[in-house]
Amino acid sequence: MEHSVPIVLFVMIFGICAVVTYFQHRNRADLQLTVRAAIESGQPLSAEVLEGLTAALRPQKSDLRRGVVLVAIALGFCALAVGVGEPDAFGPLLGVSAFPGFTGLGYIVLWLLNRDPSATT
């Protein structure tokens, strides 16, 4: 029974990633169907309409949000490492916190590199 905890943890991580990927794919497919239906019905698609439809697919804002959330998770693991007070648990918990921490920092760097200098938000 005690060996099932790590297995369940990794299965849940895989399941969450699979669900997120599925819904992202579904949203993009729905957008393509909407554009295709508008073109087939003869409705003109202006640049503003296409810009509005594809704005949700751009990752700039989501990169910042993901980065902040992942850094917060890493800080939570760091606080847990300090709060546990067990010297043998301190190093491993800091190691675990490095994964979401550095991934979050990577997302924040991507957000900084992809920012539109003309945008004020």
Residues in the chain: 121
**Rg of the chain over all Cα atoms, to the nearest angstrom:** 21
Measure the CA–CA gap between 55 and 43, rounded to whole angstroms. Answer: 20
> For residue 64, what are the contacts with CB-CB under 8 A and spacing of at least 6?
107, 108, 111
Number of alpha helices (DSSP H) and beta strands (DSSP E) in the chain? 4, 0
Q: pLDDT (tens digit, 9 = 90+) per residue, 12-60?
A: 888 888 998 898 889 888 888 888 888 888 887 778 877 777 766 666 6
What is the CA angle 60-68-27, rounded to 5?
Answer: 45
Q: What is the DSSP letter of 3?
A: T
Q: Taking 70 as the threshold, does the pLDDT of residue 2 lie above it?
A: no
Q: pLDDT (tens digit, 9 = 90+) per residue, 84-107?
A: 888 888 888 889 899 999 999 999
Q: What is the DSSP letter of 59?
A: -
Task: Give the pTM.
Answer: 0.58
pLDDT number for residue 75:
93
What are the boundaries of each domain within the chain? 1-57, 58-121
